[in-house]
A = this chain, B = another copy of it.
Amino acid sequence: MGKKMRYLLDYQEGERVVGFCLVKSKEAGVASNQSEYLNLELGDRSGTIMAKLWDVNAEIKEAIQVKAVVKIDAVVQSYRGKKQLVIQRIRLASPADEVVMESLIPISPIPPEELWGKLESVIHSLQSKTLQAILLEAISDSEIGERLRQYPAGVKMHHNYYHGLLEHIVSLLTAAERLLPLYPQVDRDVLYATCILHDIGKLYELSDPIAPDYTTPGQLIGHLVMGVEIVTGICRKLGIPLGDAEVLHLKHCILSHHGEVENGWGSAVSGKTPTAVLFHYLDQIDSKMNAIGQTLSDMGEEEWAYANVLRRKVWRGY
């Protein structure tokens, strides 16, 4: 019933594409006949693709801006082994087009309500009233709560799609839950709180969930320390003493989750508890599995494809 929606990356070389998409980047050039053209990066739910718009006039050049929604009529061609669009016609979308955000950006395959439910149930299961109060306060905050339902976990490395951060958190919570019985030396509640809050600073390190860029505070302070400051702010609000041992432990896990300081990967301090050490590896596993998973699903028929997160090729297997 009803034909399946086709997205940008679903079309093959030679096909004609008519549809809506988002302008992700734009640069102007001058051809040898001295007319101007635009190189556009266009995106929708399926990903992004480069597009060429020849012979642009000043009006079009001005109208087509980054983050604009446009309707295009284009042909897929091959350029340097990759598909590229050559645009025949283009116009800005209008409200009348009733384009929905979900069709324009990549999005986590898991519904946000399901993820949110899992998050809440873990928080309610905590035995530490201190950590539970901090977490409830965090997700009840209207700004944090809203962003947590929207933000990706990063600009490009992993879980880089709508509510990707929430998916990453819930995946970590599940992994933590499953490994905890094996390692009784780990503090269960601190581990769960770290899963939820380790990247909470990213909600302010990144500018927005659609075409995220780094904010100025994000670049000056970084999401690890920003996360710690959010925790401290909540503690002050709730009257939790800053020297509380569980709070210290939680902050330690946030500050050390990029691994050992000596490796130069961005931790403010090296992990010094089993909980901190375990979390670092869980985070590595979940982010790398997600990124390699994306590479594997994009590689089509190829047996090997380059995975940015590993800086080498990965094997599709048999």
Name A's B-contacting residues (CB within 8 A).
Answer: 27-37, 39, 52, 54, 77-81, 84, 86, 171, 174-175, 178-179, 182-183, 185-187, 216-217, 219-222, 224-225, 228-229, 232, 236, 242-243, 245-246, 248-249, 251-252, 255, 260-274, 277-278, 281-282, 284-286, 288-289, 292-293, 296, 303-304, 310, 312-315, 317-318
A277 CB contact (under 8 Å) in B39, B245, B266, B292 = B292
Within the oligomer, what is the number of copies of this chain?
A: 6
A248 CB contact (under 8 Å) in B175, B216, B263 = B216
> Known interface pairs A183-B289, A278-B285. Does A34 touch B86 (Cβ–Cβ under 8 Å)?
yes
A interface: dominant SS: mixed
In the docked arrangement, what's the CA distance between A303 and B218, Å? 13
| Nearest-neighbor residue (CB-CB) of A79 within chain B | B29
Let me know if A304 and B219 touch, CB within 8 A: yes
In the docked arrangement, what's the CA distance between A248 and B218, Å? 10
Let me know if B30 and A84 touch, CB within 8 A: yes
> Known interface pairs A179-B285, A289-B278. Does A33 touch B30 (Cβ–Cβ under 8 Å)?
no
